[in-house]
């Protein structure tokens, strides 16, 4: 009996995809759903659908006006969390980073994880609630993250993440609102998006 590895692919059982004898080590067969397909690099196949982008900031201050709603539930009280030169783009694959406007724009539809974290403080005001929200194309998340500053210069950290369905070209932003007019300083922070 012949060794199966020595048989030409035309004599293989149907369980072996066509061209297995010509595939490179580490390749996988990707079916086209019509009885054929192609051999592709395993790594390329895994990463071809990935998309991600990240902005970060350090030592940036933004003036936040007092919200009209002390519960911070009103979307119009939230401002885009950005000022001139606040954000810096870092890692990106199939996501457009706009550091000037603090935005991440998707180039592939799908389910994405949105994440942010920040170490922040307010100057000159005590007992201030600061709230953060995401928006996608101007549609705000119904969920907010609140941080309370007990005294001026009280450094707090906040972080949140969530899943959202987006289409190609949608713009993701991070927004902030406060119960008093404050100068909010982000000691450090990051805003990121990753396609799952």
Cβ contact 185:154 at 8 Å: no
**pLDDT for the residue numbered 1:** 59
**CA 96 to chain CA centroid, nearest Å:** 11
Tell which phi-psi region holds residue 68, choosing left (phi > 0), alpha (psi between -120 and 50) or beta. alpha
* pTM of the predicted protein model: 0.76
Please check whether residues 154 and 89 belong to one and the same domain. Answer: yes
Q: What is the mean pLDDT of residues 22-35?
A: 75
Please check whether residues 94 and 126 belong to one and the same domain. Answer: yes
Q: Examine the pLDDT at 160 and tell me if it is beyond 70.
A: yes
**pLDDT for the residue numbered 9:** 67
Task: For residue 17, give its domain range.
Answer: 4-47
Arithmetic mean of pLDDT over the chain: 87
Q: The tokens of 72 are what?
A: 């911070």
| pLDDT-wise least confident of 41-45, 116-120, 148-152, 174-178 | 41-45
Please check whether residues 57 and 23 belong to one and the same domain. Answer: no
Please check whether residues 28 and 123 belong to one and the same domain. Answer: no
SS3 129: strand
Residues with Cβ < 8 Å from 30, sequence gap 6 or more? Answer: 37, 38, 39, 40, 45
Residue 84: pLDDT band with limits 50, 70, 90: confident
Please check whether residues 88 and 121 belong to one and the same domain. Answer: yes
């Amino acid at each position: 009996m012949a060794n199966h590895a020595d048989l030409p692919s035309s004599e293989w059982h149907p369980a072996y995809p066509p061209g297995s004898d010509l595939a490179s080590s580490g390749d996988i067969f990707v079916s086209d759903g019509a009885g054929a397909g192609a051999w592709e690099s395993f790594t390329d196949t895994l990463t071809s659908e990935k998309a991600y982008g990240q902005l970060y900031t350090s030592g940036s201050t933004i003036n936040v006006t007092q919200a009209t709603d002390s519960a911070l539930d009103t979307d119009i009280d939230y401002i885009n969390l950005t000022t001139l030169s606040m954000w810096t783009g870092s890692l990106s694959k199939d996501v457009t980073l706009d550091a000037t406007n603090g935005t991440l724009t998707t180039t592939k539809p799908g389910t994405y994880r949105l994440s942010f974290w920040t170490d922040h403080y307010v100057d000159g005001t005590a007992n201030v609630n600061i709230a953060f929200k995401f928006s996608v194309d101007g549609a705000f998340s119904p969920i907010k993250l609140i941080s309370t500053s007990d005294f001026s210069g009280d450094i707090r950290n906040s972080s949140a993440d969530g899943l959202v369905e987006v289409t190609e070209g949608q713009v993701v932003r991070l927004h902030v609102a406060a119960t008093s007019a404050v100068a909010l300083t982000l000691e450090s922070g990051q805003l990121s998006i990753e396609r799952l």
